[in-house]
Amino acid sequence: MSEPFYITTAISYPNGRPHIGHAYEAIAADVIARFQRQRGKDVRFQTGTDEHGLKMARKAEEQGRTPRELADEMSGYFQEMCDALDVKYDRFIRTVEEDHHRSCQALWRAMEANGDLYLDRYEGWYSVRDEAYYDESELVDGEGGERLSPQGTPVEWTVEESWFFRLSKYQEPLLALYRDNPDFVQPDSRRNEMIAFVSGGLRDLSVSRTSFDWGVKVPGSDTHVMYVWVDALTNYITGLGYPDDTENFRKFWPASLHLIGKDIVRFHTVYWPAFLMSAGLPLPKKVFGHGFLLNRGQKESKSLGNVTDPLALADQFGVDTLRYFFMREVNFGQDGSYSPEAIVTKTNAELANSFGNLVQRTLSMINKNMDGVLERFETAGDDKALLTIVQDACRQGLPHAFERLAFSVGIEDWLRAVYACNQYVDEQAPWTLRKTDPERMKVVLQTLYIAIRDLALAIRPVIPTKADAVLQQLGVAEGQAGYADMHDEGWYNALVASGHIVAKPTPVFPRLELPEEASD
């Protein structure tokens, strides 16, 4: 039986259309999911939208609509984004769905049964934009002297009856969790932040609101709706069928990886494990807080006029190109930057000029100089040396790096193998061998043919459509596209035996041109 692997993104708050940060996280999660599937894991991948809370209620009121009408429209844009970016989720969850309300209420009852919920009065600061409570000591002064959250968002003084969760009770268990399971919060910088935060002392957390009704009802207290983060975090178990004893829940929980932005690490590594401990449920294995994607080094904002529509970017440069650039350019876990110029320069140099050109000229020469006919052959020293470089990168370097979520490191390994192939072409000069030693030419071209197969399989999680186009031109069957298939040395002989003919290739990686407005 295949080992299960459950990965989630944070669910997106749909009070506006998707931005580049949403696309970045969805793409990264999809790359991980595809990679683990190619490794032979039984993968479940969940994403979705977080549709309750005061922010959504106020936005709908401003527009003269119901919160549900707003949620239905905006959630559709996020689903459209995932589909357009080739993000293959198993479930797109919406927090307005009936099974999610049932799941939240079951978790609430489990925490209540453990004695961790009590009714009291909340007085304190609340950021509607962050949907977060802040202590006075965490606030900063704005330019006009107004009080702001640590994220620079406005805060309001809130007074209302509220249910509280005994978060203070879990201070020591949380510190023990970070100490005993250092991989639980990654990268290390995020773990250190959470250790410092929890070590500073935890106060009990207000977990219900009475000032609005757009949310999940608190069982037994119908005038209360759950704090949006209790509601949102629960989506990860809703999607597996909690509270019912379903096959999916037994199989996939605890989650292998919650992939989230660095700005919501506290909710996922302090509140969420505390809720789960209280409810007697296993904790996720890892929470990874990635960095932000910056537009020419700046965080996107409407006031700066630099907000990018990810679908427009994908239309402009291509989906796989965008996926490759994000995974290649950014040291995952840290902030990264993008621009049209950087996308064009990087992908032209690496995909079009290096890998694409390697595929195109190899297949063209086999088609033209060998009539497309593959033969059995024996490799010599230089050929074996090249295949060793390629196999080391594709079967060890890239996969080991991707397991650590070090995507840029893994792609760098892959690129070194691509460059080695191009150097081999230049040194062997098959166009000269065609006249001086045709049999040696065949060995060189067929060595490259085998190398290209491994290269395409290795990079497939990042550029699935382009890699599959290469594999199809090679004659690699769809069912032979896993990482385990790289170790099958008989695939080539099977192609030879079947009489496979290498057709004249179609270019897979055309060069990109910089849009006129970006090049002015």
Tokens of 426: 């230049």
Entry field: residues in the chain: 520
The pLDDT value recorded for residue 520 is 44
* Cis preceding linkage at 254, omega within 30: yes
List of long-range contacts for 432-439, beta carbons under 8 Å, 24+ apart: 434/369, 438/369
Per-residue 3-state assignment (H helix, E strand, C coil) for 184-206 = CEECHHHHHHHHHHHHCCCCCEE
* Cis preceding linkage at 154, omega within 30: no
User: How many other C-beta atoms can be found within 10 angstroms of the C-beta atom of residue 307?
Assistant: 14
List of long-range contacts for 472-480, beta carbons under 8 Å, 24+ apart: 473/359, 473/363, 473/502, 473/503, 473/505, 473/506, 473/508, 474/363, 474/449, 474/502, 475/500, 475/502
Architecture category of domain 340-498 in CATH: Orthogonal Bundle (1.10)
Give the tens place of pLDDT for each residue, 127-171.
888 878 888 888 998 887 789 998 888 998 988 899 999 999 999
The pLDDT value recorded for residue 519 is 47
Domain ranges for the chain, please list them: 4-290, 340-498
Q: Are 259 and 8 in contact (CB under 8 A)?
A: yes
* Cis preceding linkage at 187, omega within 30: yes
Q: Are 294 and 262 in contact (CB under 8 A)?
A: no
pTM to 2 decimal places: 0.93
Q: What is the rounded CA–CA span in Å between residue 427 and residue 517?
A: 41
Q: What is the rounded CA–CA span in Å between residue 235 and residue 215?
A: 13
Residue ranges of the chain whose pLDDT lies below 70: 298, 300-306, 516-520
Classify residue 111 as left (phi > 0), alpha (psi -120 to 50) or beta. alpha
Residue 49's H or E segment, with its range, is strand 42-49
| 4-290 and 340-498: identical CATH topology | no
Q: What is the rounded CA–CA span in Å between residue 54 and residue 65?
A: 14
CATH code given to domain 4-290? 3.40.50.620
Q: Which residues contact 42 (CB under 8 A, 6 or more apart)?
A: 1, 2, 3, 4, 5, 251
Q: Are 386 and 447 in contact (CB under 8 A)?
A: yes
Helix ranges (H only) for 330-463 are: 340-347, 357-369, 381-392, 398-403, 407-428, 430-436, 438-459
Phi and psi at residue 35, to the nearest 5°: -60, -45
